[in-house]
Amino acid sequence: MIQVAIMGHGVVGSGVANIITTHKKKLFESLGEEIYIKRILDLREFPDSPLADRFTKDFNDILNDAEIRVVAEVMGGIHPAYDFTKELLKAGKSVVTSNKELVAAKGAELIEIAKNNNANFFFEASVGGGIPILRPLVQCLVANNVKEIAGILNGTTNFILSKMIDEGMEFDTALKLAQDLGFAERNPEADVEGHDACRKICILASLAYGKHIYPDNIHTEGITKISLRDVAYASEYKSVIKLIGDVKKLDNGKIDIYVAPMLIGEKSQLANISDEFNGIMVRGDCTDDVLFYGKGAGSLPTASAVVADIIDSCMHLNERKYIFWADSNNESVLPYNESRTRMYLRLDSPEAEDMVNEIFGNVYVIAKDEELAVATDLMTVADIESNIQKLERKGVKVLSKIRISDL
């Protein structure tokens, strides 16, 4: 019997307790031992839980219990999750977490502490919820130089965009529907402004390139400015708009990483990922494109990844597994201005076509009605911005600009 603890009894935490309780036989077959939930940490009361006797409000009941070998941290947020995780790892306990905020902000440090204390720190659930992605990336794709990772990493925004694309729903209506259905938080900022996706692409980038990429200063655009008109023009360009977390390693070694809405060609596998689903494409130099698809959130999907990490930790109680990246100060991150892309531009003046062509060089005209929608050639964001300023000085207003993906 291996004794574990769960910190947090919210959406994910209660799912973890649920799976360990209801999937006893399956887990026993895999591990060869029973997993026993000894403690659940939560400040709230759960008198009706079948595990009511295991609850505690005191972290020390977990930290100081030598029988507890593995702890699931599913509280979310940095504090107190960070301090708790640090102390547990220092005590030689393995910690598994679904907390992308924690991993994105403190991953390198926690991995290092785990290593120094012969413990493991796993976080499969922090990206893609129930979708296997981190282990496949680190283990199965290990022989590949990863050229690019591009993912639909946030189910809330994908749901909203799907409603805009498939049903012509306005952003605000779609957001409200997502909230009503429980796909979006009351305060949706972390989702709709792209911060959640940014944490996840940073975790993927750190794993793929072996250096911690911190979310701070990474260019992060959300979807709040996307209009139905953009959706319609995208469709005329045989594309759909998706919020993409993207990272690639350039030939000069720089890491080009950002989160932004992008026009994705209808034939791309990423274009078919709808509603609250996530999809992550890994472009390896040997495998070419490999795509992982599934539910990126939700109690049981996410909890199933946490429980898989618990099992893996239980199988490696006194040894280290090989999830690793080094610390960094984001020195290898390409300044966003130097990122190269084709850009969709929507302009208020259909008469501006010649002017646009003159300033941008050749552009592809997507539509010309009351407005003008064009696709530029490949150029740096800096050049695009400076060209936009030139246009605006001549009285042409740029109503939207959205990156065009080549995925």
Residues tagged active-site:
200
Does 311 interact with a second copy (rule: CB under 8 A)? Answer: yes
| Complex with a second copy: residue 24 or 397, whichever CB lies closer | 24
**Size of residue set near a second copy by CB under 8 A:** 45
DSSP 271: G
Q: Site mask, a second copy, residues 151-190, x = CB under 8 A?
A: ----------------------------------------
Cα separation, 361 vs 353, in Å, equals 11
CA torsion through residues 132, 133, 134, 136, sign: positive
Does 380 interact with a second copy (rule: CB under 8 A)? Answer: no
| Complex with a second copy: residue 36 or 293, whichever CB lies closer | 293
Residue among 3, 30, 330, 349 that touches a second copy (CB under 8 A): 30
| Minimum distance of a second copy from residue 115's CB (angstroms) | 13
Cα separation, 120 vs 312, in Å, equals 9
| Complex with a second copy: residue 174 or 307, whichever CB lies closer | 307
Q: Site mask, a second copy, residues 331-370, x = CB under 8 A?
A: ----------------------------------------
Candidates 112, 146, 123, 125; CA nearest to 324 is 112
Radius of gyration of the chain (CA): 23
| Minimum distance of a second copy from residue 323's CB (angstroms) | 11
Cα separation, 188 vs 178, in Å, equals 10
8 Å CB contact between 215 and 231: no
Cα separation, 4 vs 206, in Å, equals 28
8 Å CB contact between 335 and 302: no
Residue among 162, 201, 284, 405 that touches a second copy (CB under 8 A): 284
8 Å CB contact between 90 and 81: no
Distance linking the first and last C-alpha atoms of the chain:
47
Q: Site mask, a second copy, residues 124-153, x = CB under 8 A?
A: x-----xxx--xx--xxxxxxx--------
Structure tokens at 280: 């992550």
Does 21 interact with a second copy (rule: CB under 8 A)? Answer: no
Contact positions vs a second copy (CB under 8 A): 15, 19, 23, 26-27, 29-30, 124, 130-132, 135-136, 139-145, 210, 269, 272, 284, 286-295, 300-301, 303-305, 307-308, 311-312, 315, 322
